[in-house]
Amino acid sequence: MKTPVGLVAFALVAPAQAAVPADVHALIMTAMNESAAGWSAGDLGRFMAIYAERATFVTGDGVIRGKAAIAARYAPRFSPESAAKRGTLSFEEIDFRAIDPTHTLLIARYRLKIAGAADQTGPTTLLFEKEPNGAWKIVADHSS
């Protein structure tokens, strides 16, 4: 069997997957759990605290730019009338890798447990950026 030359060239120049330092992993996963707790408690500010001001969110309808616009999209799910339908949010880590010293990529599965309904679940890909104050924030979110 012949191996395509392009595949061999890619294998020779592709960077190895970089491990995320344990302290960075812990900081980001703590922030993810805090965000999920905010969702479950109906606290939009707490849920959104993990997002950078310049974050983008990819939806089936296009790209939403900016933390305020993303929060506005989620706001109806945080009304008192929506509490029962909002459910309890959790994340299961699938892959986590360092892109460079200030960027990490988290691929996870989100799960919404809603009483009396089937769980809603799907993949989420999150790009985190380290801010000057040392906090790790989501700058790109693609969840489906």
Burial (CB count within 10 angstroms: exposed 0-12, middle 13-18, buried 19+), residue 137: buried
* pLDDT for 13: 45
Residue range 80-124, pLDDT digits in tens: 888 888 999 999 999 999 999 999 999 999 999 999 999 999 999
* pLDDT for 105: 98
Asked whether the whole model's pTM tops 0.95, one would answer no
The dihedral built from the CA positions of residue 121, 36, 55 and 18, taken in this order, carries a sign that is: negative
